[in-house]
Structure 1
């Protein structure tokens, strides 16, 4: 990530990072052995999470005083609500999932708890507390994609390969 503080945070939590990077879901997804139903469940949960993330970004932006930082957060929200969700709509079609059904699907208890944490932090906290709360999503996905990038070409499941490549693109 680059700065001294992020390097310090990253190195002080190597055990957590190792568990994330080597989680069975992640390794199975990148090597192509993940059962498709697990991936579909994840996609449904993640779609609902992305809607909440976009709401959080809007809340954070509304609280910011600095117009440049506000603009950056709003651009992030726009990218998530347009590009990211557009990619998900294509993914849903490939997985024979319908957006209408996903919207009606109740998020899992774990996803609900995480989304509530983010909304509470962004609503009740400072904008910078909100930014800190949403940072792990971006950081973790980038680290996971980089760590497992070498496995993608050998991954026999096109939909997994295509999904993961998104997180390696600039």
Structure 2
């Protein structure tokens, strides 16, 4: 067991991947979404893929939870998984015209990302597996905070994507994401040097796959 790290997982992971985070914040998909100029067909395809993606994200969390010895952490992960799956219902309520269904086929980037964190959930340690899934939560919190800082001061009238922003910009969602962060920080503090290194690598790779996902969503329509 290593000594307690000088920085928590969240702080060091964000610092080491700051270039990728900035790239995601400035991605044309997200910039145009903020400005209410994103082509609706692009958003529709994104939502269809995210609808599928949320299923595997939920599965990964439950697999990780089943491997945890600490009952409190297991309970936290089950609660996070429940909240993750519930986003699908919110999607269908806000965006009835987006043809959300499990009958759609996953895109290449969606499959690459879900395969990545599902493999980690099955074959890696609890800490490493959660780090692989962590970008799914962390980057959305960062993006939404960025969007709210941009959109609300500009007072964009009739913002067509306000419903999507509202799904992620609320106290319940923030509490869920903060809970993931707390668990990841806890696991990082207890991990050895090698496992900590792998956690940071998995997080960074997850962000790279997020960028690939947005690239594809932006180019498909």
Look up the match of 1:90.
93
Q: Any idea what the Cα deviations from partners look like across 1:80-118, whole Å, max 9, x if unmatched?
A: 222x1220111331xx1334xx21110101111111111
Give the structure 1 partner of residue 137 of structure 2. 138
Provide closer, same or farther for how the CA distance between residues 107 and 155 of structure 1 changes in structure 2, counting only shifts above 3 A.
farther
Q: Which residue is equivalent to 2:151?
A: 152
The partner residue of 1:45 within 49, 65, 83 is 49
RMSD of aligned residue pairs (Cα, Å): 1.5
Question: Structure 1's 45 and 164: CA in aligned 2 closer, same or farther, altered over 3 A?
Answer: same
Written as runs of structure 1 = structure 2, the 5 A alignment for 1:1-170 is 4-82=8-86, 84-93=87-96, 96-99=97-100, 102-153=101-152, 154-170=155-171
Aligned length: 163
Is the 2:48–2:99 Cα contact (8 Å) retained in structure 1? no
Q: Is the 8 A contact 1:21 1:144 kept in 2?
A: yes
- Shift of the alpha carbon at 1:159? 3.7
The normalised TM-score by structure 1 is 0.89
Alpha carbons 1:91, 1:159 under 8 Å: kept: no
CA change 1:4–1:121 in 2 (3 A) is closer
The runs of 4+ residues in structure 1 deviating greater than 4 Å are none
Contact persistence 1:145–1:165 (CA under 8 A): no
Contact 1:30–1:155 (Cα < 8 Å) also in 2: no
8 Å contact from structure 1 (residues 32, 156) kept in 2: no
Flag structure 2 segments of 5+ consecutive residues without an equivalent: 1-6, 172-221
Q: Could you tell me how far 1:156 is from its partner in structure 2?
A: 4.1
* C-alpha spacing 1:139/1:21, structure 2 compared with 1 (3 Å): same
1:30–1:161 CA contact under 8 A, matched in 2: no
Tell me, in whole angstroms, the C-alpha distance in 2 between the residues paired with 1:65 and 1:137: 24
The gaps in structure 1 that reach 5 residues or longer are none
- Counterparts of 1:4 and 1:129 in 2: how far apart (Å)? 15
Query: Higher relative contact order by CA 8 Å / sep ≥ 6: 1 or 2?
Result: 2
Do 2:94 and 2:163's aligned partners in 1 also have CA atoms closer than 8 Å? no
Q: What's the CA shift for 1:9?
A: 2.1
What is the CA–CA distance in structure 2 between the aligned matches of 1:17 and 1:78, rounded to whole Å?
A: 26
